[in-house]
Amino acid sequence: MKIISYNVNGIRSAISKGFVNFMQEQKADVYCLQETKAMKEQIEEPYVFDVAGYKNNYWFSAEKKGYSGVALFCKNEPDHVEYGFNNPDYDKEGRIIRADFGNKSIISVYIPSGSSGDERQAYKMTWLRFFQDYINELKSKRPNLIICGDYNICHQAIDIHDPVGNKNSSGFLPDERKWLSQFVESGFVDSFRAYNKAPHEYSWWSYRAASRSRNKGWRIDYCMVSESLKNNLKNSGIMQQAMHSDHCPVCVELTS
C-alpha cells in the first residue's frame, strides 16, 4: 500500500499545475490531501479524477469558502468513510477525514496554523488537545492508524532550517513541539525518520525570498503510523521534486 499526503494549497491551483498527471504517474493507492480550499462541485472538470483512476474520492470541506478542507482519493473503495470529528465546533473548518480498509484506517488531517496571531495560536493548542483525545478513543476501536497530513509543527531542530531564529515562531514553539513528542510517544512512528535521519529535508517553504530554491524550509508534513504497524513499514520519503504547491508531498509504503 502506497499512501501520498499532500497539502495542495488549493486543489484548483494544483490541477492547473499538473497535479492530476502527478497522481497518474505515482499511482498511489491513497492520496491524502489538505488545504483543498474547494468543494467538489467547484471543480470545473471533476471527471479528471475518475479518468486518473480515482473515482473513489471523498471531500470534507470547510464551511467558509476558499479555506482549509481535506480529501481522500482512493484506488479502491473503502469499507467506510468518516467525515470530521462528529463535533460541530471543530468540523466547520473541515480538517479531518478517515477511510477504513480492512483492519487499517487512513486519516487525512490538516492541523490549524497559529501564525496569524495569539487567538489562533490558542485555538491551535486547544485543537491539539481535542485531537489527541479523539485519536486515543479511536485507537481503542481502530488500533491500526495511518495519520497523514499537515501538522503545522516542526518536531525537532533538524526539521527546520533556522531553529534559533524561529524559536518563537508558531510551528516551532516549545508547547507545540512538546505536544508532538507526546503524540508520537502515545503510540506512533514518524515514518520518515524511521528511514532518514539527515538534516535539510523539508516539506514546506515560504513563497518569500526564494526560500524553496535556497532550501530554507520546514518539515511540517508527516505520515504517522501506529506502532502496531511498525513491522509493516516498507519505505517513507519526501517528494521535493513535486512543484504544485508551497508544500511538497510526503509518502509512506506499507506491506499488507
Active-site residues, by number, are 150
Helix (H), strand (E), coil (C) string for the chain? CEEEEEECCCHHHHHHCCHHHHHHHHCCCEEEEECCCCCHHHCCCCHHHHHCCCCEEEEECCCCCCCCCEEEEECCCCCEEEECCCCHHHHCCCCEEEEEECCEEEEEEECCCCCCCHHHHHHHHHHHHHHHHHHHHHHHHCCEEEEEEECCCCCCHHHECCCCCCCCCCCCCHHHHHHHHHHHHCCEEEHHHHHCCCCCCCCEECCHHHCCCCCCEECCEEEEEEHHHHHHEEEEEECCCCCCCCECCEEEEECC
Residue 170's CB is within 10 A of a number of other CB atoms, namely: 19
The grid coordinates of residue 76 equal 479502491
